[in-house]
A = this chain, B = another copy of it.
Amino acid sequence: MKFQAFRPILLVNGILLMIVAAVMLLPAMVDYSVGNDDWRVFAVSALGTGFIGGSLYLTNRGYRDTLSLRQTFMFTVTSYVFTVVATAVPMHLSPMNMSFADAIFEASSGLTTTGSSVLTGLDSAPPGILLWRALLNAMGGIGIVVLALAILPMLRIGGMQLFRTESSDTTEKMLPRATQLAAVISAIFGALVLACAFCFYIAGMSGFDAICHAMATIATGGFSTHDASFGYYDSPTIEFICIVFMCAGSLPLILYFRIFRGDPGLILRDTQVRVFFIIVLCVTATLAIWLSLTKEMSLLTALRYSSFNVVSVISTTGFATADYGAWGNFSICVFFMLLPVGGCTGSTAGGIKIFRFQIFYETTRVQLRQLLQPNGVFVPRYNGKPITDSLAASVMSFFLLFALTFMVVALILSLYGLDFLTSMSSSAQALANVGPGLGQVVGPAGNFSSLPDGAKWVLSFAMILGRVELFTFLVLFTPAFWRD
Contact = CB atoms under 8 A, between A and B. Distances in A.
A319 B263 CA distance: 63
Nearest to A364: B397
Contact of A415 (B73, B330, B390, B403): B330
Given A411-B333, A475-B368, A400 B360 contact: yes
Given A369-B480, A371-B155, A480-B372, A397 B396 contact: yes
A374 B156 contact: yes
A378 B70 CA distance: 18
A105 interface: no
A369 B410 contact: no
Q: Which of the listed residues A393, A399, A410 has the most CB atoms from chain B within 10 Å of its own CB?
A: A393
A451 interface: no
Interface string A390-427: 10111011011101000100110011011111011000
B364 A333 contact: no
A481 interface: yes
Contact of A333 (B70, B414, B475): B414
A234 interface: no
Contacts of A392: 389, 393, 396
A212 B460 CA distance: 52
Given A368-B474, A411-B334, A420-B420, A397 B329 contact: no
B397 A399 contact: no
A372 B329 contact: no
A271 interface: no
Given A70-B372, A73-B372, 5 more contacts: A363-B397, A364-B401, A372-B480, A403-B403, A420-B421
A73 B374 CA distance: 14
B396 A367 contact: no
Interface string A4-35: 00000000000000000000000000000000
Given A360-B397, A360-B400, A420-B421, A471 B334 contact: no
Contacts of A367: 393-394, 397, 471
**Main SS class of interface, A:** helix
A478 B372 contact: yes
A420 B389 contact: no
A471 B329 contact: no
Given A333-B411, A393-B392, A368 B471 contact: yes
Contact of A330 (B329, B368, B411, B475): B411
Contacts of A399: 396, 399-400, 403
Q: Which of the listed residues A69, A364, A370 has the most CB atoms from chain B within 10 Å of its own CB?
A: A364
B478 A368 contact: yes
A336 interface: yes
10 contacts: A157-B371, A330-B415, A333-B411, A336-B420, A364-B400, A368-B474, A372-B478, A389-B392, A420-B420, A420-B438
A69 B371 CA distance: 9
Interface in A147-174: 155-157
Interface in A295-347: 328-330, 332-334, 336-337
B369 A478 contact: yes
A111 to B, nearest CB: 24
Q: Which of the listed residues A156, A370, A392 has the most CB atoms from chain B within 10 Å of its own CB?
A: A392
A406 to B, nearest CB: 10
A400 B411 contact: no
A374 B157 CA distance: 11
